[in-house]
Amino acid sequence: MDFLKKIWGYIKGLYEKYKGLPTPSKVLFMGIFVAIITVSIVMISIFAAPRYVLLVSGLTDEQSGYLIQQLQTMGVQYKVEPGRILISDKYNVYELRMRLASMGVIGATTKGFEILDQQSFGATSFDRQVRYQVALQGELERSIMTISGVKSARVHLTLPKYTYYVRGEMAEPRASVLVVLQPGQDLTQNQVKGIMELVAGAVEGMKLENVKVIDQMSRVLSDKVTASTDMLLASNRTELKMNLEAYYGKKIKQTLEAVFGPSRVEVIPDIKLNWEKIEKQSTTYEPVTRQGGIVRSQEQEAEKSTNQPPTGGAVGTDSNIPPTYPSTTGQGTSTYEKTHTITNYEINTIVENVVQNKEGEIEGLSLSVIIDASSSVFQKFDENERLKWASIVSDLVGKGIGANSSDPKLSVSVAFLPFDRSLEQEYQRSLVEIEKKRRFTMMVLGLSLLFILGFLLIYLMIVQLRRIKGRKLVEQRRLRMEEELKKVLEEEKVKEAPLTPEQQALLQLKEDLEKMYRESPEEVANIIKLWLVERGI
């Protein structure tokens, strides 16, 4: 309670002091007080207002509407701006994104092979095939959207209809790919070919020419890849020729410029490439020799027989009536054996494939070297010495590219001609003029700034001197007035007589001046300045 009384007393004292202030001081303090209150209210409103951070951007209207419904269900404070959705910073934006992604609200809207885990128990083979096709389309869409410059993609597959036993009539699958590109982006030919290769490699039996790629502006991008092979081959040949000519021209020019000076040499190369490719196949038939050959078939036939004479006694009963005699055995056994072999040999065939591939080989190289005759190197040479130098340069050029001067494929021509330097000189003069103008402009700007700074410095010094002089004058006037008032008071005390109205007015004026000097010395100084100006002092 005492603390509140002290505060109230302090406020009351401030109010009494405020009442005793002059009107300009009151206005000043009131303006400061109102400004402090206004700034405090504005700062409180700024810091108390909720701040928002980016949640997602680049969604379609349908995705944004579904996301807003989920945020309303979760009770999350949000704000919608064109093309993006923001949430209050009191939420963890990363955690909220993960939760929404797990709910399937943000992230990839297409589904891949995970839909195969949701098959029903009674699904038929056709249902499984359709689910597989949808899952494959989703996986391809996800893969294509990772390519730089692609915002979104849609893939439509036309797969042949077949069962486990019978394949349908349509044997070639086809695919159509729609890519929505980022604003200001465009796909290169290699990127389009990569998309086509990706789709063709993911689908069994898919051919590259059966993949069509278009963008959101209905441009068929796949036509760049499936162009004529001859046109692509011609383009590659021209590019190879240009690269070789640029290589030889740069190599020779850099070397010669080190001798004759920069921009003193020009090289005109012309290369003739050989694109001949000969494939020859020869077949040679040779007869079978006695040493044998490759056996194609062999047939063997063997025959063998043995003849034995008859054994025992004489024919009839006499040989069985005793006394009997030992029988005799014939000794004339004969054997017959025969072998027959038929062998068929393959005809000796020699197949020889000869490939002579000269594609890309340099068939002829022509180099025209032009050297500036006005160079300081040749100004003191005569015609014979220039011819000698031309021969030397020609020999150096040939050896520099790894060829002999007598090589029929190489043709080097060296000429000394004066170069037209008028354009270069004009350019140099223009650069000099521009540099002069720039320096003049910088000098004028520097002098102007220096003059302005000097003028401001002198002006501030004059103002300060005037203020010091005015303060001295005011102080002198005050001292004089105080001395005069002291004299008057002393005279009044000596006389001890009642004050006259003039003396009372002078005394009241003195009191008013002293009060005004204590409260607002600036106003007193301004009054004295005005008085001095009116007096012409």
| Backbone dihedral region for residue 305 (phi beyond 0: left; psi -120 to 50: alpha; all else: beta) | beta
Give the pLDDT score at 222.
Answer: 84
For the entire predicted model, the pTM comes to: 0.36
Provide the pLDDT confidence category of residue 498 given band limits of 50, 70 and 90. Answer: low
DSSP 470-482: HHHHHHHHHHHHH
Residue 493's pLDDT is what?
Answer: 62
Residue 130 or residue 166, greater confidence: 130
In whole angstroms, give the CA distance from residue 461 to residue 408.
90
Count of C-beta atoms within a 10 Å radius of residue 322: 5
pLDDT in tens, 359-390: 777 778 888 888 887 766 666 667 777 777 77
pLDDT over 70, % of the chain: 74
3-state secondary structure 82-98: CCEEEEECCCCHHHHHH
What is residue 177's predicted lDDT score, i.e. its pLDDT?
A: 92
Banded model confidence at residue 51, pLDDT cuts 50, 70, 90? confident
3-state secondary structure of 379: coil
pLDDT at 168 over 50: no
Mean pLDDT of the chain: 76
CB 348 within 8 A of CB 285: yes
Q: Retrieve residue 39's tokens.
A: 């700034």
Structure tokens at 413: 């021509």
Kindly report the CA angle at 123 between 117 and 127, in degrees rounded to 5? Answer: 85
In the DSSP assignment, the letter for residue 51 is P
pLDDT at 169 over 70: no
CA distance to 58, 102, 422, 513, per residue, from 61 (Å): 10, 20, 64, 78
Query: Cα(276)–Cα(193) distance, rounded to whole angstroms?
Result: 29
DSSP codes, 291-318:
TB--EEEEEEEEEEEEE----BS-SSSG
Taking a C-beta distance cutoff of 8 angstroms, is the pair 338, 303 a contact? yes
The pLDDT assigned to 312 comes to 55
pLDDT digits (tens, 9 = 90+) for 313-354: 555 555 555 555 454 444 556 677 777 777 776 667 777 777
Q: Do residues 67 and 59 touch, judged by C-beta distance below 8 A?
A: yes
369 closest CA partner among 395, 393, 404, 399: 393
In this predicted model, what pLDDT tens digit does every residue of 289-309 receive, in sequence order? 665 666 677 777 777 777 665
Neighbours of 398 (CB within 10 A): 19
Q: What is the pLDDT of residue 213?
A: 92
Tens digit of each residue's pLDDT (9 = 90 or more) over 59-102: 777 777 878 888 888 888 888 887 788 888 788 888 887 887 76
Is 80 exceeded by the pLDDT of residue 536?
A: no
- The values of phi and psi at residue 221, to 5°, are -80, -25
- Record the tokens describing residue 347, joined without a space: 């005809």
- Please say whether the beta carbons of 191 and 221 come within 8 A: no
Which 3 state secondary structure label does DSSP give 205?
A: coil
**Element (H or E) spanning 342, and its range?**
strand 334-345
Q: What stretch of H or E contains 440?
A: helix 422-495
**Number of helices (H), then strands (E), in the chain:** 11, 13
- pLDDT of 251-288, one tens digit each? 888 888 887 778 788 888 888 887 777 777 777 766 66
pLDDT at 532 (0 to 100): 67
How much is the pLDDT for 496? 53
Write b or e for each residue in 237-253: b if 16 or more Cβ atoms lie within 10 A of its Cβ, otherwise e: eeeebeebbeebbeebb
